[in-house]
Amino acid sequence: MVNMIKFFRHIRQSLLTENKFSKYLLYAIGEIVLVVIGILIALSINNWNEQRKERILESEILADLLVDLNKDLAQMLEALENQKVTINAQRSIATALENNLPMTDSLRGQFYSVALPFARIENESTYDNLKTIGFGIIKNKEIRKGVQDLYSFYKIFDKMTKLFNDEFLLTINKEQAEHLMVNKGNYPRDYEALKDDFVFINTVHDQANINGYRLQQINEAIPKLNALIAVIEKELK
């Protein structure tokens, strides 16, 4: 590079010495053009490198996101089955108490599931990282929108889960202090007394309805989650 600069300097000096100003002017313009072209090439290479780094980062984020989403899917499928068990237990117990039905082994088993806490969806480390980096790193608009919509749903769903776990379980646990065996599978200590405990019965009824709505939400979210996983897998290929 240093030798080339000396070469151009020598040509300029020769042209000036020979008093060939017009040729010197043309040469100077040509040299400026070459410098501009060199700068543009350097900028182009730099931009290409930056874009390549962004695509590598995007691929890493999508790969991590795919891991999180598959964990979410497994949790949702498990929650789906657990929720069905909980709803069935709540409705069976409320019906038995309202209709003055006798205690059975099957019904006794239902008390174990009546107050099971509902699992939260907690695989958000990649999403939190993505919020810091910026969603623009994901170039595929379908993926970007799908991720934002899904995690907006998670946020609402988790608020409902916290409300359920805090308020419903608190009410049930209060009733357990009087009527249920807390440390022995939630079996009723005094089943007959529960038949007259309308707070307990109404709470169980209400939560069965709320959990039914939550079950519907999960059923609607699973196909969307599967679709998003498929699009990301295709993008990574």
Domain range summary for the chain, segments of one domain joined by +: 58-236
> How far is Cα of residue 96 from the mean position of the Cα atoms in its chain?
40
What pTM was computed for the model?
0.70
The pLDDT tens digits of the residues spanning 152-204 come to 888 887 777 777 666 666 666 555 545 554 445 567 777 888 888 887 888 88
HEC-encoded secondary structure of the chain: CHHHHHHHHHHHHHHHHCCCHHHHHHHHHHHHHHHHHHHHHHHHHHHHHHHHHHHHHHHHHHHHHHHHHHHHHHHHHHHHHHHHHHHHHHHHHHHHHHCCCCCCHHHHHHHHHCCCCCCCCCCCHHHHHHHHHCHHHCCCHHHHHHHHHHHHHHHHHHHHHHHHHHHHHHHHHHHHHHHECCCCCCCECCHHHHCCCHHHHHHHHHHHHHHHHHHHHHHHHHHHHHHHHHHHHHHHC
pLDDT of 99 higher than 80: yes
State both tokens at 73: 């899917």
Residue 73 makes CB contacts below 8 A (sequence gap 6+) with 222, 225, 226, 229
Backbone dihedral angles phi then psi of residue 188, each to the nearest 5 degrees: -65, 130
> How far is Cα of residue 46 from the mean position of the Cα atoms in its chain?
33
Mean pLDDT within 98-127: 79
State both tokens at 137: 């790193």
Average per-residue pLDDT for the chain? 78
What percent of the chain is predicted at pLDDT more than 70? 72
